[in-house]
């Protein structure tokens, strides 16, 4: 099996590639000039926004793990170009060069509506207002209607492997005015690899799957964990289910997180 990974230089992609290569999987990485991929990955120069450059990268692959995305920017146009137009380019190139390949796309649990009456479920109707989740939902819909063999992993709050993501929560709390009692479904990098391997087996074909661990964490708990100044509030929590995803489908399909909680990650020195 030969796998092409887009977004392989990012926080998620670089860690996933290391695990795939370590497991003996032959991996290619789509990479822009001047960027480096983890050791053992075959680099193929290209850009998700350049459809022609994807042809060589896709030749002979049996699967694509599509992680390329843009999130941490105020440039809404750039978010939509990378997340939606980039996915369209990948779909078109895959149809031409590797029509039998399985495409596994990473998406986000932030897609679900803020006023959901329960943790987000994969079949919920969603209409996200922020550009990042809205663009990812649009990209999901393009892939679902592509006629290709697809699966979509809606990831919880990704953390671990010293990626600095937990440490960003105090800044995000201030930026988005999160209530300290707000809770987010979590997923460790190690278990993204577990989920991707399960998807590569075909267990998730044609499905959207919430990919989360066993225990959501509150903003307060994360802030305390990273040693930042604590923000407290006794005000009622509006939108109590925003940021939380129902992981039951993933469990039914065979997904078992190896890092079940953030507290386990702490014990294992895996933050």
pLDDT at site 174: 87
pTM: 0.97
59 alpha carbon, distance to own chain's centre: 25
Query: Is residue 237 in some structural domain?
Result: no
Report the DSSP pairing between strands 2-6 and 26-31.
Answer: parallel
pLDDT (tens digit, 9 = 90+) per residue, 184-204? 999 999 999 999 999 999 999
Please check whether residue 265 lies inside any domain of the structure. Answer: no
| Each residue's pLDDT tens digit, 42-68 | 999 999 999 999 998 999 999 999 999
Q: What is the percent of the chain with per-residue pLDDT over 70, rounded to a whole number? A: 100
Q: What's the rounded mean pLDDT across residues 242-271?
A: 98
So what's the pLDDT on residue 242? 95
175 has pLDDT over 90: no
Angle subtended by helix axes 189-200 and 11-22, to nearest 10? 60
Q: State the total domains in the chain.
A: 1
In Å, how far from its chain's centre is CA 236?
Answer: 30
How many Å apart are CA 37 and CA 18, to the nearest integer? 9
CATH number at residue 61: 3.40.50.720
- Concatenate the DSSP letters of all residues of 233-265 into one string: --S--SSTTTT-B--HHHHHTT---SS-SHHHH
Angle, helix 131-144 to helix 86-97, in steps of 10 degrees:
20
Instruction: Return the H-helix or E-strand segment holding 224.
Output: helix 219-225
- For range 69-91, the mean pLDDT: 96
Instruction: Determine, yes or no, domain membership for 33.
Output: yes
Structural domain includes residue 227: no
With beta carbons less than 8 A apart as the criterion, state whether 261 and 215 touch.
yes
Domain membership flag for residue 201: yes
Whose tokens are 């989740």? That residue is: 133
177-208 in b/e form (b: 16+ CB < 10 A) is ebbbbbbbbbbbbbbbbbbbbbbbeebbeeeb
- pLDDT of res. 8: 97
Q: Which residues pair with 5 in a beta bridge?
A: 29, 65
Asked whether residue 137 is assigned to any structural domain, the reply reads: yes
Tell whether 91 is covered by a domain.
yes
Q: Which domain holds residue 191?
A: 2-159+187-212+246-257
CA dist., res. 210 & res. 212, Å (int): 6
- Tokens standing for residue 56: 């060589």
- Residue 44 in domain: yes
Alpha-carbon distance values, 168 to 125, 158, 227, 233, 247 (Å): 29, 12, 12, 20, 24
**How many residues can be counted in the chain?**
271
Helix (H/G/I), strand (E/B), else coil: 103:
strand
Question: How would you classify the pairing of strands 183-184 and 217-218?
Answer: antiparallel
Phi, psi of 140, deg, nearest 5: -55, -50
């Amino acid at each position: 099996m030969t796998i092409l990974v887009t977004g392989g230089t990012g926080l998620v992609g670089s860690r996933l590639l290391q695990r795939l290569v370590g497991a003996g999987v032959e991996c290619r990485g789509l990479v822009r000039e001047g960027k480096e991929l983890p050791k053992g990955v075959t680099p193929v120069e290209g850009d998700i926004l350049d459809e022609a450059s994807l042809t060589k990268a896709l030749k002979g692959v049996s699967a694509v793990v599509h992680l390329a995305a843009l999130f941490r920017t105020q440039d809404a146009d750039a978010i939509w170009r990378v997340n939606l137009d980039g996915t369209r380019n990948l779909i078109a190139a895959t149809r031409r060069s590797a029509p039998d390949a399985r495409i596994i796309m990473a998406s986000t649990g932030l897609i679900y509506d803020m006023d959901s009456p329960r943790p987000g479920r994969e079949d919920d109707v969603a209409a996200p207002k922020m550009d990042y989740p809205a663009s990812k939902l649009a990209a999901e819909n393009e892939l679902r209607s592509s006629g290709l063999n697809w699966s979509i992993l809606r990831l919880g709050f990704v953390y671990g492997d010293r990626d600095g993501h937990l440490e960003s929560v105090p800044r995000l709390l201030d930026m988005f005015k999160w209530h300290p009692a707000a809770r987010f479904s979590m997923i460790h990098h190690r278990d993204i690899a577990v989920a991707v391997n399960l998807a590569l087996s075909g267990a998730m074909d044609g499905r959207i799957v919430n990919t989360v661990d066993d225990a959501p964490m509150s903003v307060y708990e994360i802030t305390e964990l990273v040693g930042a100044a604590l923000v407290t509030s006794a005000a009622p929590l509006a939108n109590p289910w925003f940021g939380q995803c129902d992981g039951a489908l993933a469990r039914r399909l065979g997904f078992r997180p190896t890092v079940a909680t953030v507290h386990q990650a702490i014990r294992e020195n895996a933050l």
